[in-house]
Amino acid sequence: MHLRTAMVEAAWATWRTATRPGARFRRLARRFGKGNEKKAAVAVARTLLCIAWAVLRYDGDYADAGTDYYEQRDQRNREHLVRYHQHALARLGYQVTLAAPGDDSPPPGPGTPPGTTQGQAA
C-alpha cells in the first residue's frame, strides 16, 4: 500500500470524528460541492501528513484544536476586520457607530434628517 492511499483512507476515517481534521474534511467537502468529496479527502490527507511531520519533527504530542476551531477562527477574523475598518474610518475623520443587523430600523438615507425614519415626512 502506498503512502497516499493510506493517508486518503485515514482522511476518510476522520469524516465523522469530532476533531479539527474532521471539521476540515466537512468544511472542504461542503465548499468543493457535491461529488467532490475525493478532493476534500486528498486535502485532509495532506493535512494529516503535515500533522504527522510536525509531531515527528518537534518530538511533541498532537493537541487537537477541536471541531469548533474554524468557527472560532472565523469569529476572530470578523472581529479583527471590524476593528481594522473602524480604526481606518476614524483615521479618515469619520465617527463610526456600529449597530447589530436586525434592529429593524433602516439606516438613514442621504436626504433623511436625523431622528426621522425614511417613511416619515419632515
Q: How many domains does the chain have?
A: 1
Phi/psi of residue 29, nearest 5 degrees: -60, -40
Asked whether residue 39 is assigned to any structural domain, the reply reads yes
Domain extent at residue 53: 3-58
pLDDT at 122: 45
Asked whether residue 28 is assigned to any structural domain, the reply reads yes
Cβ pair 77, 84 in contact under 8 A? no
First CA to last CA distance, the chain: 78
Tens digits of residue pLDDT in 16-38: 899 999 999 999 999 999 999 99
Asked whether residue 90 is assigned to any structural domain, the reply reads no
pLDDT at 97: 85
Tens digits of residue pLDDT in 42-100: 999 999 999 999 999 999 898 888 888 888 989 999 999 999 999 999 999 998 888 87
Asked whether residue 46 is assigned to any structural domain, the reply reads yes
Helix ranges, 1-122 (H):
3-13, 20-32, 37-58, 69-91
Is the model's pLDDT at 117 over the cut of 70? no
Asked whether residue 92 is assigned to any structural domain, the reply reads no
pLDDT at 44: 95
